[in-house]
Structure formats: structure tokens, C-alpha cells
Structure 1
Amino acid sequence: MKLIRYIKKHKRKSVVFGILLIVYAFCLPTELFKDPTATVITSKNMELLGAQIATDGQWRFPHNDSIPEKFKTCIIQFEDEYFYEHPGFNPISIFKALKDNISSGEVKRGGSTLTQQVIRLSRKGQARTYLEKIKEIVLATRLELRDSKSEILAYYASNAPFGGNVVGLDAASWRYFNRDAHQLSWAESATLAVLPNAPSLIYPGKNQERLLAKRNRLLKKLLDNGIIDDLTYQLSISEALPQKPYALPQIAPHLLQKVAQSHRGERIQTTLDTKLQERINHVVKNQYNILKQNEIHNAAVLVLNVHTREVMAYVGNTPTDKAHQKDVDIIDKPRSTGSILKPFLYASMLDAGDLLPNTLVADIPSQFGSYNPENFNKDYDGVVPASRALSRSLNVPAVRMLQDFGLDRFHQYLKQLKLKDLKYNANHYGLSLILGGAESNLWDLCKSYASLSSTLNHFSETSSEYYTNEFVEPTFIASESVDFGTTSTDKTLFDAASIYLTYESLKKVNRPEGDESWEFFDDSKQIAWKTGTSFGFRDAWAIGTTKDYVVGVWVGNADGEGRPGLVGVQTAAPILFDVFDILPHSDWFAKPYDEMQEVNICSKSGHRASPVCDDVEPKFIQNSGLKTEPCPYHILAHVDPTETYQVNSSCEDLNAIKHTSWFVLSPLKAHYYKSKNPFYKPLPKLRLDCVGEVQETINFIYPKRNNSIFLPKDFNGETNDLILKIAHSKPETQVYWYLDETYVGSTKDIHELAIIPKKGKHIITVVDAFGNETKREISISE
């Protein structure tokens, strides 16, 4: 009641007081400091990985609420002993400072508390006048009412100047002592505590004597106040001062670039493992020193944790120079895929039930319109098990498999992998899609392999269920966790059995030179891995996975220059296995029995065994593989007792006819198959005294269909011969050759013929003694 009566009696005073109270309440800005800060990244255990300077050119780390006890003690003892007692200003200190300044006729001391210094730092550029001092006192008291003492100290530690372009304790501790502020000694903490007092006059490398004297006076005060003991004091004053600033750590510079794109000026805790990152940096540096001798300057490595999908290591490039784009982060850049997509085709065909793991696929000279794929070694096997074609990375079987499976169909599988650089429709890429006709990046490819591995792990862990969001983006930010969705009995993309069987094949890929005998050692790591080499030797890939980790490696030149020897198994694979040697050992994937069936498989063809197959073994295949056809390669042959001729009842007693299973290939496949399989026995010919229909087949080996041929000249200027070559089901048959209906020769047993046709288009005709005929059109250029 008295207050109300007083307000009514003194209305003007009350209004003025009220206005002043409102002004006081709102005089302090909500955000004291708006200066740009450096982008800082730390490891999973908060170790500094790197920092990018603030946009104003200052090393100013983002605000940090955590202040080391040693520095807290030192700064209070040096700047403001009564910090925890005063309300924001210290009247006694102000009185003493005013007295000294008046007696000396100049400003010799300020008497400011740490709270006042925080206000002064936030009001940068203000002249140091008595009026400004009054404003600081008012704002300091307001700050004391709003924030705690710890928060005020944090403001000071994060924004105090430490000389040069170093602002804040965190930046100063790294620039001057090359370590985190929490690891500083008493001497180091004392050094940093005295620096903000006159940062333009005293800092490491300048006025060392004055800096040393100020530091030691502070240490003596700590001794006198019983904060440190005599031994600590003696050891502390013997410590040398820093002479010049250190460069900040740059352990993951390319990840720092990536973080700065979306989190500029922030302190981000990443998922990286510092020790692993440093060791992989060392591996990359060693390999770079070897590769640059062949003018190969760039490489990138990515390591993912399969279970959490966290990035464990991120090496965006080699420590090359600016002329060779050392600052370019290769990990997310599109590059030609080479053969790295082949496992996805193999898994797709298994998943769709179009293939069994060891089904024979053709490996013969092939032409698809104007597209003429070749194996890396220019050789052919005739037929080869699909799993072996994958582990050996044979090109021709891969293209033929893609044609059989369907280009659009495979393209749909790849789209579900969310490869962002696969931007065009299937027809744009054509069959070359499987040999590097498309582009992708290391991030997306590693993500895809991690998703496949995680699918297998989850299937085993959840009693044969899948997760709905298995193909999730990895993360390098520790505060983020991936969401795999909910469990479901429906597969996400590939079923677990198809993935497992794909990995079983990839486990058998030939390792780099010097590591070939890995499987003979009990503790050797089982790794499913694949290499890739792009056309023109521009990109070399190696990606591998275990149950726990995915490692991806790219090697090449950032500007796309190709180099001889830039091959996946020679340049990328050694880095891959060096990285896996650093990682902990992983067990192999559990076999997903619930997605598999045990059936009898023909050992020679890899198909489900037919009643005719003579060599059968039980194998686990994917459930969808039950719809594949039985073995088409084995027939029941009727031969004489010596198995030299085919016979029938027209020429042999029924009791003497031997009925045996026979593995039969077409002539062209058999031609190449025999060179690698000397025990292959072609189907015997029908004995001459037997009556029966015999069909002979002729296949061109060279030239290929619609082939345009250039005939080079030798050193004498003479045009080289064109060698024509066919395969005949009965090589001993006489074969007659015609060029544009003109007879040019005949062959027997070995069906090769040399001719020199004129420039232009020609038709080659081949006729055997039985009247069988085949033709091939060619175009000759000079």
C-alpha cells in the first residue's frame, strides 16, 4: 500500500524510474558476440581433426562452454581475484585505478573485472573513456543478473585476443602449444592467461622477456596462494615459451571442406577415428610416393562402419600439390565405373532367378551392333562359370549376361541403389554400362556395398527379416544416427542369399602381387572385394567389405589423364589391403539358410542337375534359383565300347552300345574351351557304317560380324594379310573359302586362311564338304 501511495504521490519519478528499469532490463543484447568463427571438426572422441579460418581472417573457434580448471584459476588470479564476489564491477579496484590515473595524468590501469572485459570485447571499437566505462559497468551488472559466472568466463575465454589473428582460448592453445586447452600445463595456462592483457605488445615471438616475466609473476602468485606446490612452481618456470605459432592439425582436410559447406562457422563432432585416419593418411602418402613416379597423382579412401553406417576415415586426396588438384575432394566426384558394377549385375541375376552361382556363361568373341567388347587379356575361355567370370572380371561374359538379363531391368536395380551420378536412361549407356559406360562416385559405391553387407547382417540378427530403409545414406556427423526403418519379411532390393553368394564369389578375386597365398593362413581376413579399371586407364577402383567394414579406394588423376599401369588390381588394391590390415579382424557372414535350398548341381555346368549329368554335388542355392533350367550341356550319347564313335542299332549290337553322359559345347565355344581344358572330349563322330543324321556347324572366329578392318603396312610398304578363321564341329572336314563368290582356297583340320582383300565391302563365304554354308560381311579400309 505504501508503494502504491508513493507512486501516486511521485508519478514523474516513478515513470522515470520505470523507464530506466525497462531500459536496464533490455540494454544487454541477446547475442553478445556476432563475429564469424572458424569451422572446426573433431573426431568421435573430440580430438581436433582440422579447422578452417573464419571469414574475417581470424582464428576464432566457435563458443565453448568448457573451460579447463588450470586456465580458469590462472585468469581469475591474474585479472580478477574477486570475480566470484562482485556483482559485475569492483568498486575498490575502480577507485584505485581512478586514483592512479589522476595522479599520473594518464590512463595507467582500468580496474575492470572479467565481466566488464567481456562487455568491452563485445562492444569492440569503442573509445576507452570514462563514459564508456560507466556503460560497461551498467551492462556488466546486467550480464551478471542474466548469466552465471561460468557462462561469463566462457564468454571471455572464447573471445579474448591472444595476439596476431588468434582469438579465444581454444585457438590459442592449438596455435601456440599444438594441443587442446585441457591438456595444457600450469606454465602454458599461465602464459595464455597473461596474453590478453596486452595482446598487441606481447605474444609468442615478440617481447619474450616481458611475456616471461608476466608469466612467472603469475606462477609465483599461484605458489604464494597455495594453489601450486613448490615443485610444480620450479618445473613451471623452467618451461620455455612458444616461439612461433603452430599450424593447426589438418588430419581430414577434405572432410573439413565438406562440413564447411553446410556447417560453416560451427564446431562439428564427426564420426572419424583419429588414429585410423592418421594411419590411412600414412598409407596413402606412401602409395602416392610410388604412384607419382608413373605420373599418377591422386587417390581417395573411404571407410564405413557397416553396422552404424558411420564414416570412420575420409581421405579425399593425396598430399600432392596444387598443380595436381590436391584440394579436390575425389570421394564425391563422378568417375567412370570400369568393372565395379559387375557384382550388382551378378546379384541382380541371382535375385531374379536367372542364374545360379556357377552357371556356365559364354566367353567367346562377341559383337553387339557396333559394340565389340574384349576381355582385358584379349583371351577367351569358351565358357566359364558365372562366379569365376565375376572373380576374374571377364568383360565378354559380363556383357553377354547383361544382354540376357536385360539392360532396362538392370538399370532399374541400379536406380534403387540411389547412385546419384546415374542420370540417364538405360539406352543412353547401352551394354557398355557394365564396363564403365556410366559414372559413379566413391561415396555412393561404398554406401551400396555397406547396404548389401548390412542386409546380410540384419537378416542373421533378426531371425530372417529385412529392414525397410537399408539403403540409407552414411553419416560423418556424430550427433546423427541412421534410421534403418522397421523390420519386414520382404526384401529391400536383393535377397540375402543372392548377396551372400555374390560375396562368396568376390572372396575369390585374385589378390595383388605378394598377397596371393592369403587363404593358406588361418588368421587371414576373408574379404569380398572387386576392382575396376576405366577405359583409357583413367580410373582405378578397389572396394571391399567384411561383416563390419567397407573400404573403398579410387586412384587416378583428377584431371582425367590416363596412365599406363593405372589398373585397379595394381594401384588401388594394394591400398585397399593395407587399410584392411589396419582394421580389426572380422568374421565371415553367416549363411542365410532361410533364403536358400540345397539341390543337386551339375559340377561341370553349374546348372541344376538333369538325369543325364554324371558328376553331381549338393549345393545351397538361392530360392529363386529353383526356376532355372536343368543342365542343357549334358546329353546321353550312344557310343561303342571304346567311346571312339557314336553308334546306333543300325550298325552295332544293342548289348554292345554304351550309353554315357557327355558334356557337349557348340563348336565356337568348344574351340576356345579346349585351349584351357585339355581334357575336354568333343562328342565322337558317327561311325561310317552307321545310318543317321549328322549336323555339322560352322562358326566364324574372325572376322567378327559387321567388322570394319584396317590392314596395316609393314616396313617394306607391303599390306599385311587378313587371317580368316572359323571353328567347325568336325575339324577334319574339308572347307572351301570364297571372297565375293570367288574361290580363294580350302582348309582342313586347322581352318585358317590368309587373304589380302581390296578396300571396300566384301562377303566371305565358307562351304564344307557336306554343303553346310555360312557367310560374313566385312569392310576393308586402308
Structure 2
Amino acid sequence: MPTTLFEDPTATVVKAANGQWLGAKIAADEQWRFPEIDTVPEKFKQCILLFEDEHFYKHPGVNPISMGKALGANIKAGKTVRGGSTITQQVIRLSRKGTARTYFEKLKESILATRLELRYSKNKILALYASHAPFGGNTVGLDIAAWRYFGIEAKQLSWAESATLAVLPNAPGIIYPGKNQSTLLKRRNGLLKKLKDHKIINQTTYELALIEPLPQKAYEIPRLAPHLSEYLHQTKTGKEVKTTINYKLQKEVNQIVKSHYLQLKQNHVYNIAALVLDVHNRNVLAYVGNSPTDMFHEKDVDMIHAPRSTGSILKPLLYAAMMDDGELLPKMLVEDIPTKIGDYSPQNFDETYNGAVPADEALARSLNIPAVRLLKQHGLEKFRDELDFFKLKDINRPAYHYGLPLILGGAESNLWDLCKTYASLASTVNHFNETSSEYYTHEFTEPCLLYGKQSNFGEKVQQKNIFDAGSIYATLEAMKTVNRPEDEVSWQYFESSTEIAWKTGTSFGNKDAWSIGLTKDYVVGIWVGNADGEGRPQITGVSSAAPILFDVFDVLPKTTWFKKPLDELIERSICTQSGYLASSICPSVTKWIPKTGARSSTCPYHHLVHVDLQKQFRVNASCQPIDKITTIPWFTLPPLMEYYYKKNHVNYKELPPYKTDCYNDLEKSMEFIYPENNTTITIAKDFDGSFNEIVLKIAHRDSDAKIFWYLDEQYIGQTKQFHELKISPSKGWHTITALDENGYQISRKININK
């Protein structure tokens, strides 16, 4: 007898943490054959023994009396009318596929059956039979038969259902749903009567079992997580896999995704992915690889692992990195002005400028220009190296390949890796607070899908992994205050009783919409778009992905906010206007900041200004007696930042003008908005064949100032208040010069291409 009786391929069966089925992948030979079971449910056990082998526990593998009766009946009839095989013999026959049913083969089966009895226990043999017996069509084994015909697990079968299945291996062809009903009913009811006569069931149970209906249709295999089933099938082929999935949550997230899919497809958006992680143990609680769309719209593509443009979803990592380096504080003003770096000109989503904006607000509003300027300040190469720590497998090119657009979606990643990263950030803060202010060496570990497998966080150490808990906490605080990012009309719909740090992202061309949110207990990640890469109008992280995110959080248990990692924070005086460390002349407030922030810069925007006693004019000793000069601190932004900042801040006070008879030391009072210095400008033709003009723009601190313009030292005009001037220069290099009334002069060189 061979060492292994059955080498048939089996289906991959995926179950939730509570043991309920999530899905299955059919065996390689196109049979629904599940992995072997260990025990047989009691009801089916009683039915199959009474129907097939009443003396199973008494014979040594062969029942001579039954075989003798069968042999006599068959000789008398001149054909096979009765079988005398025991369950043990049937196990041998099932394992020896394709053998002829002759008396010689019967003798072989009898010998092998006795050997099988010596190898295995009776219960093991019975389990082998239940696992490999045919139950009609391509249904093999009790587990799949219970689901296919009754939509339940084998352990849930009633007496009538167990009896129905027990008569099938003897004649599997009679189960075709909706047909052969009289034959099947007769056999089932006969077995039920036998159960009653043997006092296995009582009269009442018998009568109730008789009125139970026969199966009328085959149930579909559960498909609560089809993409997860396919994903696990790649490495767990033919095995029963118990996962960490929360069965109830998976059903709820499926329904949420379906509901939003029905809305989004009206805008021809067909694909959604959702992932939920437990921060504390990294268990995957819900896994929705795609929406319930159709084959034409790539329904089988698992978008959780698909590389897609990240949009703005990496911005929190840059902010945390800069806080960890002491380069940034939460409220520090960052520049949001027209920017051109080489040939790259980033734009905010709403194509406006703020002049200057607090860092946490820039993150919350997902402003692009501040992020690009900060990446340049922090260092592209440095940030690219830091990303390697998170093991984002799709970000695998050198820094020069991505350039500064890296922070705005110039790279690709996947929902699995991004959720893993966010979960690790949250867990870093949790662990720091739960321990004696320590970190774990393997904090940034992979999510766990297999039930019972524990995440290995490594050893406790004093040294941070990459960012300290204070910098991460400050970043999460900024993400918690997300206020109308990108789409100002949507915030009102996202109110939640649970404090959530969340970030959205939208890729170029509206091809990918992201939203990832986290609490100290859970991470939820959502991707929305089209698997084939087609962009659609109005697909944004806020309008498309965020509503799904908050619907998922609504079905998760409520949670509290992170505790402050006090050992990685310090209290410092912060300038209330600039967000920098306060200087001696700044209005200030005491704030908790990351420890590394203690080495950041003091406020560069507060200056001492000499004014007259009425504070109407700036003065100096050249025009005002010393006893009539007062010195006060003044918050002043550079001209270009000021130009945009004051439009949104009505309380911003511009510097007063110099008194007319005062000597002006020609402080910087204006900046070019356009063009950038040393740039090439291509001028296109208009419809009439003439070349278009370019518009020169300058921001001046004095709104009433006059500016005199020169092109290659030739005077070309003047402007007042609105400093914009159209010109049509010839092809080649030119110098633009601007001069104000006080003699302050700035220049730009440009190359015109026609």
C-alpha cells in the first residue's frame, strides 16, 4: 500500500478568524475537493455508518458476512445488484482510481483494507472517506457538499440534510438539483426511518426531518474575499488557510464598497480597494481587493497590491522627516508662492497661492508648492534614502529618476505597503507610551494575514527606528486637523466622533484617489480609480476615497486619541505669528514640540522698526530727532510672500512708508512673480499668425509705489498698484529690469523661443 493514499489536488480554502468561509479556489483538476478533514460531524457519521457500514467499528476492514450475501445475490441475478464493501474498502477503491470492478480487484481491495486498518484509526479512515467520497458532479468530499447543496458548513447539517448526503456516494448521480427528486427522497427517508428504528433519533425528530425539502439548486461558493483567496492561493495552494480577517467587518466593508461603487460608476469609475489593519498586532481585519464590477472593468485585478501613483499620500513622511531633523515645527510658516525649479513648476490643486502658510495647515490642506519647496530644502536624495526604510517595494528607482515630483505622485506604491507604513507610525507612538519610552527594532513589520501568527516587533531599544515618537505625534496631530483639503465643500460630510488622522491623495490626471486614516487602534486605506489607468473628472481623494474611509471607520469600534509621547517632546516659546522659535521681540506662546525642534531657527520675520511717535512713518536719524523716534517689533514677510499672504490675512500690517525727507537704505521692497531668472520662454502664435505676448509680474511692498520697466536698458513703461506689463520681445536672450521710486532695482534674464 502506498505511503500516501490520495495525491489529488485540493482547493485552496480561505476562512476568517472565526472559522467561517471567505472563499475558495477550485483544485487544479477542476474538482471542488477540499483539504482532508480531521473529524466527521456526529450526525453525518451516524447516517453514513448506518447506510454504508453498520459494523464499521467491529470488522478488521472486511466484513465477510456482507461480502458473502452480496456475492450470492449477484450470482443469482447474473449481474451486480448489491455491494458488500466496507467503508475501509471504499477508501481503498477511491484511492485506486480507474481500476476495474472485478472479483480479482475486489480481492486486492480486501487485502489493502486490512492493511489500512493496521495503519490508521477507525476515525481517521472515516475522515478519509468523508473527504474523498463523490457527492455528484465535480463535488468531492463532505465539506464542499454541505455548502454546495445546503449553503452551510458540515457541522451545521440537520438529520435530514446529513441523511441526504449519506446516500449520495453510493449513487452520486441522483443529486442533480431539481431532478431525480423521487429517488433521492425515497433513499433519504428510508435512511431516516432506519435512524428512528435504531433509536438514534426519536419520533418527533423523524417526523420533522421527513418534511424538510431536498436541495433544489447548488449554492455558490462564498466570495466574501475573492482577491484575498487568489492572493493566498499563490503561496498556500490546496491548503485550508485560516486568516486574521474579521468576518463581520469584512461583510460590512464589502457592502460599503458596493454602495460607493454604484455611485462612482455613474462617473465611469469602476474600481475600489479597501484594507483595514489592527495597529497593535498588524492583523489584516478586512481585505477588499476590488469592487463588484465586471470583467470588462478588470474585476479580478487585486488593486491592494497594484502599483499606482501615490499623489500626495507621501507628504506626511516628509513632514515627519523634517520635524525629526529639527528643520520644521508644526506651526512654522512655509512658503507658498509661484515656484519654478529648473523646468519644474508645481501648482496647488486649486491653482492659488497663500504666500505663507503654517506647516501643519499645509499638510492638512495638502498644498503642493510648500511640499515641493520643503523637499528641496530637506534634500531629494536624503528623503529618497529614508523611503527605503519603509520597504515600499514599488519605489525602487534612484532619486534622480523621480525628481521633486516624487512628493506629489511622481512615484508609484500600493495600498498594502502604504497602510503598513502608516500602521507602523501609529504603533511607534503607542509602543513608546506603553514602554519606558522605548522603541522596537522591528517596528516597521509586514501586516499579518495568517491566524495565530504573531508579529515580531523585535527587541526594545532606546534608539529610534527612523523618526522619533515626538515627530510622528506632531505629524499625526496635523493630519487630525484636516480641514477642507483640495475640495472646500466636502469637509462638512466627514464629521466623526472618533479623532482620526487622515490624508488624501490625487494623482496627476485624476487617475488615482487615495485616502488613508489612522487611530491608535486601526488603519484604514482606500484607493479609488480605474484599473486600466483611465482618469476621470472629479476623482479626488476627498470626493471619492474619503467618504468610503469614514464609512469604514463608522463600523469600527470607537477609539481614543494617542497619548503624548512626553519624553520626546519639550516645551518652548513659539512665535504666534511665524511658528518659529520665538525671539526676544516675538509675541509668543508656550507649546509642546518635538525635542529636535529645539535646534530649529528663531523667527526671521520679526524686526525692530524705527517709527515716529504716531507710528505713521518709518524714520531714522537722518530725518527725525532721536527723542521723537520709537522702536517697535514688526512682523514682515518678504515682498513676494507678503503679496499673496496679505490677500488672505486682513490683519496683516504692511510696513509704514518712510517719511519723505528720510534717507532710505534701499531695503528689499519688491520681487519678481514672473518670470523666473534664467528661464527659456516659448511664445506660441495666435490664431491670426501673430505671436502672443508675455506678462511680466512684480510684487511690491508699497501698494502705491510706481515701478519703471526696462527691456535691455530701453524704457518700456511704468505701472502703479497692479504691477503687470505685457511685452513682445524678439527671439533670444533679454534682460528685464524694474526700478521703483526709491531707487530699488531688480533684474531677470530670459531666453525667448519662438
TM-score in terms of structure 1 length: 0.93
2:641 paired residue number: 669
1:621 paired residue number: 593
Structure 2 unaligned regions, length at least 5: none
- Pick aligned residue for 2:360 from 383, 387, 392: 387
- Could you tell me how far apart the structure 2 residues matched to 1:503 and 1:696 are? 38
- Could you tell me how far apart the structure 1 residues matched to 2:488 and 2:338 are? 29
- Could you tell me how far apart the structure 2 residues matched to 1:292 and 1:761 are? 52
Aligned counterparts, 1:612-761, within 5 A: 612-613=585-586, 615-691=587-663, 693-709=665-681, 721-758=693-730, 761=733
Deviation of the 1:518 alpha carbon: 7.8
- Could you tell me how far apart the structure 1 residues matched to 2:31 and 2:666 are? 89
Aligned counterparts, 1:34-433, within 5 A: 34-433=7-406
Contact 2:132/2:140 (8 A) holds in 1: yes
Contact 2:664/2:742 (8 A) holds in 1: no
1:581 paired residue number: 554
Aligned residue-pair number: 752
Contact 2:174/2:183 (8 A) holds in 1: no
AA of the residue aligned to 1:137: S
Deviation of the 1:760 alpha carbon: 5.3
> Which one is further off, 712-721 or 48-57?
712-721
SS, match of residue 448 in structure 2: coil
Deviation of the 1:721 alpha carbon: 4.4
- Could you tell me how far apart the structure 2 residues matched to 1:148 and 1:692 are? 104
Deviation of the 1:651 alpha carbon: 3.8
SS, match of residue 464 in structure 2: coil
User: Does 1:516 find its partner at 2:521?
Assistant: no
AA of the residue aligned to 1:153: L
- Could you tell me how far apart the structure 2 residues matched to 1:565 and 1:779 are? 37
- Could you tell me how far apart the structure 1 residues matched to 2:330 and 2:173 are? 73
User: Does 1:469 find its partner at 2:437?
Assistant: no
Alpha-carbon distance change, 597 to 33 in structure 1, aligned in 2, over 3 angstroms = same
Deviation of the 1:202 alpha carbon: 4.4
1:9 paired residue number: none
Deviation of the 1:135 alpha carbon: 1.2
- Could you tell me how far apart the structure 2 residues matched to 1:611 and 1:74 are? 90
SS, match of residue 56 in structure 1: coil
SS, match of residue 99 in structure 2: coil
Q: Alpha-carbon deviations, 1:616-648, whole Å to 9, x = none?
A: 111001111111121111112222222211223
SS, match of residue 263 in structure 1: coil
Q: Alpha-carbon deviations, 1:447-502, whole Å to 9, x = none?
A: 00000011111111112111010000112111322100011111111100011000
- Could you tell me how far apart the structure 2 residues matched to 1:658 and 1:742 are? 42
Contact 1:638/1:659 (8 A) holds in 2: yes
Contact 2:605/2:635 (8 A) holds in 1: yes
AA of the residue aligned to 1:682: E
Q: Alpha-carbon deviations, 1:223-246, whole Å to 9, x = none?
A: 111111222111111111112211
SS, match of residue 45 in structure 2: helix
AA of the residue aligned to 1:745: G
Contact 2:63/2:84 (8 A) holds in 1: yes
AA of the residue aligned to 1:679: N
- Could you tell me how far apart the structure 1 residues matched to 2:488 and 2:96 are? 66
Contact 1:731/1:751 (8 A) holds in 2: no
- Could you tell me how far apart the structure 2 residues matched to 1:753 and 1:649 are? 37
Contact 2:606/2:636 (8 A) holds in 1: yes
User: Does 1:450 find its partner at 2:423?
Assistant: yes
Q: Alpha-carbon deviations, 1:397-441, whole Å to 9, x = none?
A: 001101111111111211111111111111211111111111111
1:608 paired residue number: 581
> Which one is further off, 657-666 or 118-127?
657-666
- Could you tell me how far apart the structure 1 residues matched to 2:727 and 2:666 are? 31
Contact 2:490/2:543 (8 A) holds in 1: no
SS, match of residue 262 in structure 1: coil
- Could you tell me how far apart the structure 1 residues matched to 2:645 and 2:170 are? 85
Deviation of the 1:189 alpha carbon: 0.7
AA of the residue aligned to 2:329: L
- Could you tell me how far apart the structure 2 residues matched to 1:53 and 1:450 are? 34
> Which one is further off, 651-660 or 258-267?
651-660
User: Does 1:535 find its partner at 2:508?
Assistant: yes
Alpha-carbon distance change, 651 to 780 in structure 1, aligned in 2, over 3 angstroms = closer
- Could you tell me how far apart the structure 1 residues matched to 2:434 and 2:465 are? 16
User: Does 1:559 find its partner at 2:532?
Assistant: yes
Contact 1:721/1:755 (8 A) holds in 2: yes
1:25 paired residue number: none
Contact 2:666/2:744 (8 A) holds in 1: no
Contact 1:696/1:728 (8 A) holds in 2: no
Alpha-carbon distance change, 461 to 190 in structure 1, aligned in 2, over 3 angstroms = same
- Could you tell me how far apart the structure 1 residues matched to 2:675 and 2:744 are? 19
AA of the residue aligned to 2:599: K
Contact 1:388/1:505 (8 A) holds in 2: yes
SS, match of residue 604 in structure 2: coil
SS, match of residue 103 in structure 1: helix
Deviation of the 1:67 alpha carbon: 1.6
AA of the residue aligned to 1:531: T
- Could you tell me how far apart the structure 2 residues matched to 1:677 and 1:313 are? 45
AA of the residue aligned to 1:590: K
TM-score in terms of structure 2 length: 0.97
2:746 paired residue number: 774
Deviation of the 1:544 alpha carbon: 0.6
Contact 1:696/1:730 (8 A) holds in 2: no
Structure 1 unaligned regions, length at least 5: 1-27
Contact 1:338/1:435 (8 A) holds in 2: yes
Contact 1:686/1:694 (8 A) holds in 2: no
SS, match of residue 172 in structure 2: coil
AA of the residue aligned to 1:661: P
AA of the residue aligned to 2:65: I
SS, match of residue 473 in structure 1: coil
Sequence identity percentage: 58
RMSD, matched Cα? 1.9
- Could you tell me how far apart the structure 2 residues matched to 1:545 and 1:179 are? 36
Deviation of the 1:92 alpha carbon: 1.2
Deviation of the 1:706 alpha carbon: 4.5
Contact 2:227/2:290 (8 A) holds in 1: yes
Deviation of the 1:324 alpha carbon: 1.2
Alpha-carbon distance change, 514 to 567 in structure 1, aligned in 2, over 3 angstroms = closer
AA of the residue aligned to 2:258: K
Contact 1:195/1:203 (8 A) holds in 2: no
- Could you tell me how far apart the structure 2 residues matched to 1:173 and 1:202 are? 12
- Could you tell me how far apart the structure 1 residues matched to 2:642 and 2:491 are? 30
- Could you tell me how far apart the structure 1 residues matched to 2:655 and 2:176 are? 92
Alpha-carbon distance change, 707 to 297 in structure 1, aligned in 2, over 3 angstroms = farther
AA of the residue aligned to 2:422: Y
Deviation of the 1:766 alpha carbon: 1.7
User: Does 1:485 find its partner at 2:458?
Assistant: yes
